Chain A
């Protein structure tokens, strides 16, 4: 739509000062460094959730974890143009997109297709697809600002939006990621920490059922560290699950009163 203007648009650059090689967050072997936002290694950012952010959608949620802000809308169950054949099971369609100002560099595209398919895999284990045969549920996520640990926030926010839309779920889905920075494990990394990480582990689980829907590991990990990281994540996930439930309860009681 903006094709005419952008075809002749001049090329621009951002006038930020030169990116010299930044000093690393910590030196090798130093176990005492402080995280840039002052948190402990095993402390997550405070989570803020609100359902009903978008009126036009069947269900929606807004999540804010520090500087990472995400809105997710759920539409459906509704008819889908893509599905040709009859199916006993419903279909789930996920899409994650970023605003142009989500990152410091304008228009930097951040792997949207991969995030979309990971969101799909994380959610499909928790949704009772047999309750909406022949139809599709669309889950759309928009990352307003990317402050690190985006995909876990998107997944948690999406499951809240699905609950808000009344789609039947086995349980809420919560996700937390852990970064490996040298000898330390830090939970819920911010973008600066993610850029220095040696490896990352993300768990998506259903806290009440104590079941994992998705586990993603990148980098080099020994089995002992994997166990430690998994335990950290599962604890954080159950706490996050409690926060999400209380948010849903508040929203439900508020709508009962009005």
Chain B
């Protein structure tokens, strides 16, 4: 039987035959997975910070928009609303109208007290919208990366109290002396405390596949490990699946995530420094 037909009719056997020889059939062995991070791409005009992250062919666009609200959860804190959208352009299995299945985690990266404007009365609400533009594998990694980059690009604009509302100080007025004192003085960047990095692995019998592609996703057992920049574990997510994970498998996945963290850290630092030069 031809290889292609075998691949479509019996995908699991196809992969097992390759994995037993330690080959991953869908990956080109000479090509490293490419991670491209371009902050301030796309909707920079209407959002307050945006970034496009691309891991191999998975593309995610994240944008943050800051609006004012009365603080609900605690008087001195703002809040973040994360929404993950899978528009129908990204993948043949998504039909318009169906809700998204993956939701990234916000993990204490941003100090919420920073988002407060007037204690008890007004605070920033950050809307983070992540759009997947090309869904060709495990989405969580790219989504998290783009969210982190969008936040590092985001800026808090100065705002002052105008009657009962907060009004943004527009750029022409920034240098002049104003009648009312703005609540926060200059445009400042959002401070990120510790950046999370993630890696998705697939477990299959006694093989671990890191960063799976879309076709490999049929081997159903996923495990997502999120570490922060000091190497501490933020989240570990293994939602069922036909394969059970031994402690050794978990430790290997964490080690793989550590390696990935080094790669991603370099890329994020490079992207942030090119941004600051602009």
Residues of A within 8 A of B (CB): 1-2, 5-6, 8-18, 53-57, 60, 67, 69, 71-73, 75, 78, 95, 97, 99-104, 106, 138, 140-142, 144-145, 147
Is A99's CB under 8 angstroms from B85's CB?
yes
A–B complex contacts, Cβ < 8 Å, 14 sampled: A1-B99, A1-B100, A9-B81, A10-B70, A10-B72, A15-B159, A53-B133, A56-B214, A60-B89, A78-B92, A138-B88, A140-B87, A142-B89, A145-B45
Could you say which residues of chain A place their CB within 8 Å of the CB of B195?
none
CB-CB under 8 A for A12 and B131, given A57-B92, A140-B96, A144-B61: no
Q: Quote the shortest CB–CB distance from A195 to chain B (angstroms).
A: 15
CB-CB under 8 A for A56 and B135, given A15-B168, A97-B87: yes
Is B81's CB under 8 angstroms from A95's CB?
no
Q: Quote the shortest CB–CB distance from A83 to chain B (angstroms).
A: 14
Which chain A residue has the least Cβ–Cβ distance from B83?
A2
Residues of B within 8 A of A (CB): 42-43, 45-47, 50, 57, 59, 61, 63, 65, 67-72, 79, 81-85, 87-92, 96, 99-101, 103, 125, 127, 129, 131, 133-136, 157, 159, 165-168, 170, 214
How far is B211's CA from A147's CA once the two chains are assembled, in angstroms? 36
Q: A-B pairs with the 3 shortest C-beta distances?
A: A73-B89, A12-B67, A55-B57
Could you say which residues of chain A place their CB within 8 Å of the CB of B59?
54
How far is B125's CA from A186's CA once the two chains are assembled, in angstroms? 39
Which chain A residue has the least Cβ–Cβ distance from B102?
A1
CB-CB under 8 A for A56 and B45, given A17-B168, A99-B131: no
Could you say which residues of chain B place their CB within 8 Å of the CB of A15?
67-68, 157, 159, 165-168
Could you say which residues of chain B place their CB within 8 Å of the CB of A9?
81
Could you say which residues of chain B place their CB within 8 Å of the CB of A54?
59, 89-90, 133-134
How far is B81's CA from A55's CA once the two chains are assembled, in angstroms? 29
Is B68's CB under 8 angstroms from A69's CB?
no
CB-CB under 8 A for A73 and B90, given A13-B67, A142-B131: yes
Which chain B residue has the least Cβ–Cβ distance from A147?
B45
Q: Quote the shortest CB–CB distance from A42 to chain B (angstroms).
A: 25
CB-CB under 8 A for A12 and B90, given A17-B168, A69-B42: no
How far is B185's CA from A215's CA once the two chains are assembled, in angstroms? 52
15 other A-B residue contacts (CB within 8 Å) besides A97-B96, A100-B85? A2-B81, A10-B79, A13-B67, A15-B159, A55-B134, A56-B57, A56-B91, A57-B92, A60-B89, A100-B127, A100-B129, A101-B43, A101-B65, A142-B89, A142-B131
CB-CB under 8 A for A142 and B45, given A10-B70, A106-B67: no
How far is B157's CA from A138's CA once the two chains are assembled, in angstroms? 42
Which chain A residue has the least Cβ–Cβ distance from B45?
A67
Q: Quote the shortest CB–CB distance from B1 to chain A (angstroms).
A: 25
Could you say which residues of chain B place their CB within 8 Å of the CB of A95?
88, 96
How far is B103's CA from A2's CA once the two chains are assembled, in angstroms? 9
Q: Quote the shortest CB–CB distance from B184 to chain A (angstroms).
A: 11
Is B159's CB under 8 angstroms from A11's CB?
no
Q: Quote the shortest CB–CB distance from B22 to chain A (angstroms).
A: 26
How far is B59's CA from A8's CA once the two chains are assembled, in angstroms? 31
Is A56's CB under 8 angstroms from B168's CB?
no
Is B43's CB under 8 angstroms from A102's CB?
yes
Q: Quote the shortest CB–CB distance from A92 to chain B (angstroms).
A: 15
How far is B139's CA from A56's CA once the two chains are assembled, in angstroms? 13
Q: Quote the shortest CB–CB distance from A86 to chain B (angstroms).
A: 22
Most B-side CB within 10 Å, residue of A12, A53, A69, A97? A12
How far is B67's CA from A60's CA once the two chains are assembled, in angstroms? 34
Q: Quote the shortest CB–CB distance from B116 to chain A (angstroms).
A: 14
How far is B128's CA from A84's CA once the two chains are assembled, in angstroms? 40
Task: For A75, give its contact among B69, B92, B99, B167 (CB under 8 Å).
Answer: B92
Q: Quote the shortest CB–CB distance from B146 to chain A (angstroms).
A: 13
Could you say which residues of chain A place their CB within 8 Å of the CB of B57?
55-56
Q: Quote the shortest CB–CB distance from A146 to chain B (angstroms).
A: 9
Q: Quote the shortest CB–CB distance from A44 to chain B (angstroms).
A: 20
How far is B93's CA from A140's CA once the two chains are assembled, in angstroms? 13
Could you say which residues of chain A place their CB within 8 Å of the CB of B81?
2, 5-6, 9
Could you say which residues of chain B place their CB within 8 Å of the CB of A140?
87-89, 96
Is A14's CB under 8 angstroms from B89's CB?
no
Could you say which residues of chain A place their CB within 8 Å of the CB of B42?
69, 144-145
Is B68's CB under 8 angstroms from A14's CB?
yes
Most B-side CB within 10 Å, residue of A2, A53, A55, A147? A55
Is B125's CB under 8 angstroms from A10's CB?
yes
Which chain B residue has the least Cβ–Cβ distance from A145?
B43
How far is B159's CA from A38's CA once the two chains are assembled, in angstroms? 31
Task: For A144, give its contact among B43, B91, B127 (CB under 8 Å).
Answer: B43
Is B134's CB under 8 angstroms from A56's CB?
yes
Could you say which residues of chain A place their CB within 8 Å of the CB of B91?
56
Which chain A residue has the least Cβ–Cβ distance from B97?
A95
